[in-house]
């Protein structure tokens, strides 16, 4: 019988975690498979861990959890869950029931057809207009600038085959931008749509600022194409300056020098200064990433776990 692992990163989810567990288990019980649910408590400040302890006592064989020493972010949570998972296939789900557990059956059907990544893409129905418009714009920009393809509405809700999981785990980078990594590993991928659902209880961990940061990560953490754009922008400006210089020289020779052109000068100096600062910042972003990569720090630290198979990262035991 095949074994399925459900990986669930949770941060301050005490309000929904039991509901999630009950609903997901009721779906999994109807399927003819073995399963385990791997919770990752991402340093919650509420009673999430207490709930996880209770759940693992109630279902000791089909539940395991790992709890971080502090909040390391959802990326680290997913990584821990993928490492922890022992199944032939793994589903990654949010704890807030925005990822309907009923879809697991459909995913499993596609998995059995031999696909390695089965992606559930949410529609943007019910989202704020501004937000979905911004997302569309963002994805258009990203797909122009970044090597890997990212699709609007495609998130972390997906089923991965064992080879795909192992491929993901072989990528050791510190800055993990999962959307990019999923796409980068390739494998046989299928996508289907599902109706967007509102969070069942509790609240979203995303603020507008963190979304902007995440967007920035997507743009620059994946390749060095933005640096290439900087080069092209620089060359374009040099070209424009040269044309302008020739034009001024010709004008001076034919009409003589008349206007002093302070405004033009100031505008050019300020504009060029701005461009240079932006490009410096861009280079700084890459250097910052190199800095973090070279430290080789663990992605997360574990303070407590139940049924964790291997040695958790960063913990000497």
Give residues in contact with ligand UDP (CB under 6 A).
Answer: 9-11, 13, 42, 71, 73-74, 77, 94-96, 98, 199, 204-206
Grouping H, G, I as helix, E, B as strand and the rest as coil, residue 44 is coil
Q: What is the DSSP letter of 95?
A: T
87 vs 155 by CB, closer to ligand UDP: 155
34 vs 46 by CB, closer to ligand UDP: 46
* Segment 178-187 long-range contacts (CB within 8 Å, at least 24 positions apart): 178/75, 178/78, 179/150, 179/154, 179/155, 179/218, 180/146, 180/148, 180/150, 180/218, 180/221, 180/222, 182/117, 182/156, 182/158, 183/148, 183/149, 183/150, 184/148, 184/222, 187/116, 187/117, 187/161, 187/163
Rounded to the nearest whole angstrom, what is the least distance from the CB of residue 55 to ligand UDP in the complex?
A: 15
**Cα–Cα dist 166/275, whole Å:** 42
Rounded to the nearest whole angstrom, what is the least distance from the CB of residue 74 to ligand UDP in the complex?
A: 4
Rounded to the nearest whole angstrom, what is the least distance from the CB of residue 245 to ligand UDP in the complex?
A: 51
Q: Which residues, numbered 180-199, are part of the site for Mg ion (CB under 5 A)? A: 199
Does position 96 bind Mg ion by CB under 5 A? Answer: yes
Rounded to the nearest whole angstrom, what is the least distance from the CB of residue 42 to ligand UDP in the complex?
A: 4
Element at 168 (helix H, strand E): helix 162-169
What are the φ/ψ torsions at residue 55 (nearest 5 degrees)?
-65, -40
> Which of Mg ion, ligand UDP, none has residue 71 at its interface (CB below 5 to 8 Å by kind)?
ligand UDP
Q: Which residue of 98, 143, 189, 223 would you call a contact of Mg ion, by CB under 5 A?
A: 98
Total number of residues binding Mg ion (CB under 5 A)?
4
Rounded to the nearest whole angstrom, what is the least distance from the CB of residue 204 to ligand UDP in the complex?
A: 3
**Cα–Cα dist 204/206, whole Å:** 5
> Which of Mg ion, ligand UDP, none has residue 74 at its interface (CB below 5 to 8 Å by kind)?
ligand UDP
| Residues of this chain that bind Mg ion (CB under 5 A) | 94, 96, 98, 199
């Amino acid at each position: 019988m095949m074994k399925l692992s459900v990986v669930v990163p949770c941060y301050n989810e005490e309000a929904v975690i039991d509901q999630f567990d009950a609903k997901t288990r009721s779906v999994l019980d109807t399927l003819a498979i073995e399963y385990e649910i791997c919770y990752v408590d991402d340093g919650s400040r509420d009673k999430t861990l207490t709930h996880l302890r209770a759940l693992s006592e109630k279902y000791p064989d089909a539940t395991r959890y790992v709890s971080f020493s502090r909040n390391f972010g959802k990326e680290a949570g997913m990584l821990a869950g993928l490492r922890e998972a022992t199944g032939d296939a793994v589903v990654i789900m949010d704890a807030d029931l925005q990822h309907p557990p009923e879809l697991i059956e459909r995913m499993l059907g596609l998995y059995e057809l031999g696909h390695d990544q089965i992606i559930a893409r949410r529609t943007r129905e019910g989202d704020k207009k501004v937000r979905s418009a911004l997302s569309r714009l963002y994805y258009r920009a990203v797909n122009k600038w970044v090597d890997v393809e990212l699709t609007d509405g495609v998130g972390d809700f997906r089923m991965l085959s064992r080879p795909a999981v192992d491929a993901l785990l072989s990528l050791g980078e510190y800055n993990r931008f999962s959307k990019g990594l999923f796409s980068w590993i390739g494998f046989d991928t299928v996508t289907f749509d599902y109706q967007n659902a509102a969070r069942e209880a509790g609240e979203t961990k995303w603020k507008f600022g963190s979304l902007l940061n995440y967007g920035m990560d997507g743009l620059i953490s994946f390749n060095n194409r933005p640096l290439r754009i900087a080069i092209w922008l620089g060359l374009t400006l040099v070209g424009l300056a040269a044309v302008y210089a020739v034009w001024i020289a010709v004008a001076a020779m034919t009409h003589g020098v008349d206007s002093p052109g302070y405004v033009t000068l100031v505008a050019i100096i300020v504009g060029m200064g701005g461009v240079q600062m932006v490009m410096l910042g861009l280079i700084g972003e890459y250097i910052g990433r190199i800095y973090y990569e070279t430290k080789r720090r663990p992605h997360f630290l574990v303070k407590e776990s139940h049924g964790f198979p291997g040695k958790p990262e960063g913990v000497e035991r």
